[in-house]
Amino acid sequence: MHAALITDQETIEFFELESSPPEKDQVVVDITLCGICGTDIHAFQSPGPAWPSTCGHEWTGVLSAIGSDVTRVSEGDRVIIGVPPSCGSCPACHAGQMDKCQTVLTATVGRGPYQTPHGGFADQLTIHQGRVVLANSELSDEQAAQIEPAAICFHAVRANAPRLGDIAIVQGAGPIGLSTLQWVLAAGAGTTIVVEPNETRRNLALSLGAHHSIDPSIAADFVADHTRGLGGDIVYECAGVPATVQSAIDLARRGGRVSLIGLAMGDAPINPRRWLNKEIKVSAALGYTHEEFEMTMGFVSDGRIDLDALHSGTIDLTDIAETFVDLAGGQSQHTKVLVRP
C-alpha cells in the first residue's frame, strides 16, 4: 500500500509501505476519500516535515480487517475517522471532565497511544478501533469524508451559540467558515455577515443563507452601518490567520463575544486595550465528542447542513502535489478538495 506524506516545505513524497494484519484492538481501513484541511496546507507551507499522523485527518473508508478484540465494528462497515472516546483514566477524566480527556486531546493532535504511522492520503490505514465511528448510512461518501471538519464547527458553535436573533459575523468562508455559517443559522442567528476576500467563496456563503457577504476591506464600515455603530453580537473567527484574531474583536460590539475556531499558526498580534474597552468574551474550541459526531451526521443526512456545496472537486492521490500548490497559492477556486487514493 502507498501513502503520501509532507516531508519538507512544499515537498510531498510517496512511500510504499508493508501491509500488516491488525493487532487485537486495531482495524484496517481501505480509504475511500480523504479531505484536504487548511492545517495540511499550513503544514505544506511550513519548514520541515508535517506530523505524519495528522497529515490527512478527514477521511472515510471501509473496514477490510478487524482485530480479534474488536466488537463495536465489523469487517465491511463504512467508517469515518474520529477522536477516540474519553479514556476514563487520565487526570481530567478522574476529575469528572470526561469531555476534556487528555488522551482524546493528544489523539486530536496525532500523538499518544492512538497515533497512526500516517494519515488518510493513503489507500489503506491500520488504526486503533477507538478512532473510527460508524458512518450514518444515509450519507454519501463525499458527505462522510467531510463530517470530521463539520463536527469541529458543530462543537464550537454548540459551545458558543448565538442567542436567537443575534447579529453573527463569520470571518472566513473556507470549508470551516461555510460550515460554521450553517450551524450559526441553524442555532437561530438573526442577521449573518460573512467576511471573506475571495469572491467565489463570498457568493457561496450567500447561496448557503448568509444575509451579507463582504470583502474584509469594507468590513469595519459595513458592520458599523448595519449595527447602528455597535458591532456584531458574536463573531466566529474561521479564517485561521494571525491578523484575524484582532479583527474579530474589532467587529464585535462592546460586551460581545468572539469564538475562535480557525487555527492560526504562530502568534497573533492583539491590542489588549481594545479587548478591555470592549469587555469582550473570547472563547476557543477544538475537537468534538462522539455524540456530537453523531449529531453532526444527523443534520447532514436530513439536509439541514449542506456539505455538497463545499465540495469543489475530487482528485487522484497522484495529483496531490499540484493541488497543494494550487491551494497554498491563495487564489484557488477550490473550497473542499477530496483525495481518492
93: contact with Zn ion by CB under 5 A: yes
Instruction: Please choose, from the candidates 87, 233, 57, 241, the residue with its C-alpha nearest in 3D space to the C-alpha of residue 152.
Output: 57
Stretch that binds Zn ion, among 97-105, 215-223, 250-258, 302-310 (CB under 5 A): 97-105
196: burial class by Cβ within 10 Å (0-12, 13-18, 19+)? buried
Instruction: Please choose, from the candidates 127, 164, 170, 133, the residue with its C-alpha nearest in 3D space to the C-alpha of residue 148.
Output: 133
Contact residues for 13 (Cβ-Cβ < 8 A; gap 6+)? 4, 5, 7
Contact residues for 229 (Cβ-Cβ < 8 A; gap 6+)? none
CB 192 within 8 A of CB 181: yes
Place of cell 443563507: 209
**Separation of alpha carbons 103 and 86, rounded Å:** 7
Instruction: Please choose, from the candidates 173, 207, 212, 172, the residue with its C-alpha nearest in 3D space to the C-alpha of residue 189.
Output: 212
Least distance to Zn ion from the beta carbon of 54, Å? 8
Least distance to Zn ion from the beta carbon of 242, Å? 18
337: contact with Zn ion by CB under 5 A: no
CB 149 within 8 A of CB 176: yes
- Quickly count: other Cβ atoms within 10 Å of residue 133's Cβ: 24
150: contact with Zn ion by CB under 5 A: no
* Among the listed residues 32, 53, 54, 103, the single contact to Zn ion using CB under 5 A: 103
State which residue, 46 or 64, has the beta carbon closest to Zn ion: 46
83: contact with Zn ion by CB under 5 A: no
Cell numbers describing residue 27 = 482495524
**Separation of alpha carbons 139 and 312, rounded Å:** 17
State which residue, 36 or 214, has the beta carbon closest to Zn ion: 36
Least distance to Zn ion from the beta carbon of 266, Å? 18
Least distance to Zn ion from the beta carbon of 203, Å? 24
31: contact with Zn ion by CB under 5 A: no
* Among the listed residues 41, 87, 144, 145, the single contact to Zn ion using CB under 5 A: 87
101: contact with Zn ion by CB under 5 A: yes
Stretch that binds Zn ion, among 29-37, 123-131, 233-241, 253-261 (CB under 5 A): 29-37
Place of cell 476534556: 100
φ/ψ of residue 107, rounded to 5: -70, -35
Stretch that binds Zn ion, among 15-23, 36-44, 172-180, 245-253 (CB under 5 A): 36-44
Per-residue x/- marks for Zn ion, 37-76, CB under 5 A? x---------------------------------------
Contact residues for 271 (Cβ-Cβ < 8 A; gap 6+)? 246, 249
State which residue, 58 or 233, has the beta carbon closest to Zn ion: 58
Q: Name residues contacting Zn ion, limited to 220-259 (CB under 5 A).
A: none
Least distance to Zn ion from the beta carbon of 164, Å? 30
State which residue, 37 or 194, has the beta carbon closest to Zn ion: 37
State which residue, 6 or 101, has the beta carbon closest to Zn ion: 101
State which residue, 87 or 251, has the beta carbon closest to Zn ion: 87
State which residue, 103 or 136, has the beta carbon closest to Zn ion: 103
* Among the listed residues 5, 66, 90, 122, the single contact to Zn ion using CB under 5 A: 90
Binding residues (CB under 5 A) for Zn ion: these are 37, 86-87, 90, 93, 101, 103
